[in-house]
Structure 1
Amino acid sequence: MVLGEIEASPRTIIEAVAMAKQVPVFRYQRDWQTSINNDSIDGINLNYQFGNYALPNLEVNLIGEHQAINIGTALTAFILYAQKKKLSLDEETIRQALKNISWQGRMQVLSRKPIIILDGAHNVHGVKALMQTLEKLFPNRNVKFMLSILRDKDYPAMLSLICSRAEQVYVAQNQSERAATVDEQVSVIANYEIPCKTAPSVAEAYALAVQECNPDDVLIVCGSLYTVGEVLSTQKDNA
């Protein structure tokens, strides 16, 4: 079992169950490590270490420091699997695979002038990671958000985090039956005195947001994977 960055309380339970079942546990920081060399809109560069496996300066086509731990978790699991199956590991193949990763809807860059990024952050944890990434990559840039969040998520807390960074918010209701209404979302945003515009659909809200962006703006589409999916559908329709 490979564990990434997990809080102590659930980790203790997981490790106790693993021990009872005689399953070995390989934990982040204790058994394997990653460190970030660079994080930019073009991806991350990281170092990875697990036992005798040292892979410095891995170029990964993912944005955000938190992705280094995700990559490390996957690499560790892959190495353990290869060892069990007695498979050879080719470092160049690993490097090329990481460099060519394509993960739609996860800090996916659609445009660079203005910068338009789709991110499937759909809960408080995901939005916190998104805010940390934006603060690092765009500390002095105007950031606009186009969003639609599901009602069964903690959308007030998510919107509180988003409004702490937003210059402008565009709100819609995505097509999921679980989606929070426009009014429900706007009533929360109103507490933060952030300029807010609404539209009848995700496609229309996205079009409005893009239309009102300046070349130096940053536009983030987030709140739900449903929302991101609907924007990606509009991109395909217009291709």
Structure 2
Amino acid sequence: MKTGEEVIKWIHGLLQFGVRPGLERMNWLLDKLNHPEENLQIVHVAGTNGKGSTVSFMRHVYEKAGYNVGTFTSPFIERFEERIALNGEPIAEEDLVYCTNKVKAFVEEFVTETGDQPTEFEVITLIAFIYFSERVHTDLVLLEVGLGGRLDSTNVVKPLISVITSIGYDHMHVLGHTLEEIAAEKAGIIKKAGMIVSGVKQEEAKKVIKKMAKAEDAKYYELGEHFTVATTSRSPFDQEIQYSGKGQRTITIQLKGPHQRDNAAVAIQVIERLMDKGFPVNERAIKDGMRSASWIGRFEVIQQNPTIILDGAHNQEGFRALEETLKQHFAGYTCHMVVAMTKEKDVNSLMKPFIREQMHVTFTTFPFPRAASSEELYEPFALMGRDVRAEDDWKKAVLEREIGLDDNSLLIICGSLYFIAEVRKWLMER
């Protein structure tokens, strides 16, 4: 392969092999590649929601402090290459081609020898390891778990510190149907004699994580017990928070909502704990980095006058966070929504709070194999007598909801991150 286009086509061709949790394929391939992950200083981040925002907070702080920071995140919003980045700059085509060709040779050997096939996410993880260890100099790699934790392809690393941002009901067909089961899968990233920082709030999930940390003799730091955070002031465009951990700090962040306040606290706690491991950071870097952190597609104010917000809420916790953020930052505004989801989502439970608040909602769809139709999403609310519509053409749905917006109203476009990526591209071009 000689071009980035060829590489991405080959990688996406692996999607047909699905999601198959397990570390056997990764360990086989890493043996052949001489374990590039062992050359890296890693922060390993799991969680149902909040992984990307927490990584963004940490990345911006460490960059302000002068570190070279690698990030491995998913999914992408604008282009595939952003999943593997150095200091926020996506992997260059030359590096992507080199790393992929190196991985591809061993993937082909693996298929021939075992008859098995690595998954798309496993291959992307291997590409990231090679890029960070061979092609660039990284002081620190912020490595986001893909799915779960225990059997995720990233869980071959020995990190400086493990992080669990939150626990919620998502991917239950893989991770389990109770919070305890899901927490056990996420807590599988805790390493022997390691360190874990947790932002998890549910008591049943906290008990599981704490028990697993004790079993592994890992140091355990929990939001609400070892460090705390509170919002001291807010506006539609930022919030000031008071953090108390190893230090006391008043910090302004532009990411909105109580969930982002908690993600910020988890990030600061990780930064404080890593100071003892040879990663000093000054106060100015912390304050400037936290203020400048952003995360596209997550309650992102993409336009003002009128206000249009993009939010990748796609599970119970995401929609609950959206509801809380609207109440915290946009109380009194008239809200219009355009929503698209994938078929496996329970639209009734996710959207009922918004329908009950008499928001103006249009359900739509988008070109994606698992996308639900607009009628499927609309059907549970068809007889409620509210301003709820179905529109197959998502561009038309957005344009119709824009009509009549004023200074006291806003449009929220939310649902699947794949949908948000499509809408964001169109709005930016427009």
Equivalent-residue separation in structure 2 for 1:32 and 1:79 (angstroms) = 11
* Letter in structure 2 aligned against 1:16: K
Q: CA deviation at 1:17?
A: 1.0
For the structure 1 residues 18 and 191, does the alpha-carbon distance in structure 2 shift closer, same or farther, using more than 3 Å as the test? farther
2:266 maps to 73
Q: CA deviation at 1:94?
A: 1.1
Note the 1:21-36 alignment, pairs <5 A: 21-36=216-231
SS of the residue corresponding to residue 143 of structure 1 reads: strand
**Is 1:119 the counterpart of 2:318 in the alignment?**
no
Structure 1 residues 72-81 or 18-27, which shifts more? Answer: 72-81
Equivalent-residue separation in structure 1 for 2:348 and 2:359 (angstroms) = 18
Corresponding residue to 1:9 among 195, 201, 204: 204
Equivalent-residue separation in structure 2 for 1:205 and 1:173 (angstroms) = 10
* Letter in structure 1 aligned against 2:321: A
SS of the residue corresponding to residue 192 of structure 1 reads: coil
SS of the residue corresponding to residue 249 of structure 2 reads: strand
CA contact under 8 A between 2:200 and 2:206: conserved in structure 1? no
SS of the residue corresponding to residue 324 of structure 2 reads: helix
CA contact under 8 A between 1:34 and 1:46: conserved in structure 2? yes
Note the 1:47-86 alignment, pairs <5 A: 47-51=242-246, 53-56=247-250, 58-84=251-277, 86=278
Equivalent-residue separation in structure 2 for 1:34 and 1:191 (angstroms) = 43
For the structure 1 residues 166 and 117, does the alpha-carbon distance in structure 2 shift closer, same or farther, using more than 3 Å as the test? farther
CA contact under 8 A between 2:227 and 2:269: conserved in structure 1? yes
Equivalent-residue separation in structure 2 for 1:158 and 1:191 (angstroms) = 18
1:165 maps to 357
CA contact under 8 A between 1:141 and 1:217: conserved in structure 2? yes
Q: TM-score, normalised by structure 1?
A: 0.92
Q: CA deviation at 1:216?
A: 2.8
2:156 maps to none
SS of the residue corresponding to residue 399 of structure 2 reads: helix
Equivalent-residue separation in structure 2 for 1:6 and 1:215 (angstroms) = 36
* Letter in structure 2 aligned against 1:29: G
Cα-Cα RMSD: 1.6
CA contact under 8 A between 2:338 and 2:397: conserved in structure 1? yes
1:234 maps to 426
SS of the residue corresponding to residue 337 of structure 2 reads: strand
Note the 1:139-218 alignment, pairs <5 A: 139-218=331-410
Paired residues in the alignment total 235
Q: CA deviation at 1:215?
A: 4.1
Instruction: Specify the structure having the higher radius of gyration (Cα).
Output: 2
CA contact under 8 A between 2:253 and 2:292: conserved in structure 1? yes
**Is 1:88 the counterpart of 2:280 in the alignment?**
yes
Structure 1 unmatched ranges of 5 or more: none
Q: TM-score, normalised by structure 2?
A: 0.52
Equivalent-residue separation in structure 2 for 1:130 and 1:223 (angstroms) = 11
1:38 maps to 233
CA contact under 8 A between 1:206 and 1:231: conserved in structure 2? no
Structure 2 unmatched ranges of 5 or more: 1-195
* Letter in structure 2 aligned against 1:39: R
Tell me which stretches of 4 or more aligned residues in structure 1 moved more than 4 Å. Answer: none
SS of the residue corresponding to residue 22 of structure 1 reads: coil
CA contact under 8 A between 2:236 and 2:330: conserved in structure 1? no
* Letter in structure 1 aligned against 2:249: L
Equivalent-residue separation in structure 2 for 1:36 and 1:216 (angstroms) = 24
Q: CA deviation at 1:192?
A: 2.8
Equivalent-residue separation in structure 2 for 1:220 and 1:2 (angstroms) = 32
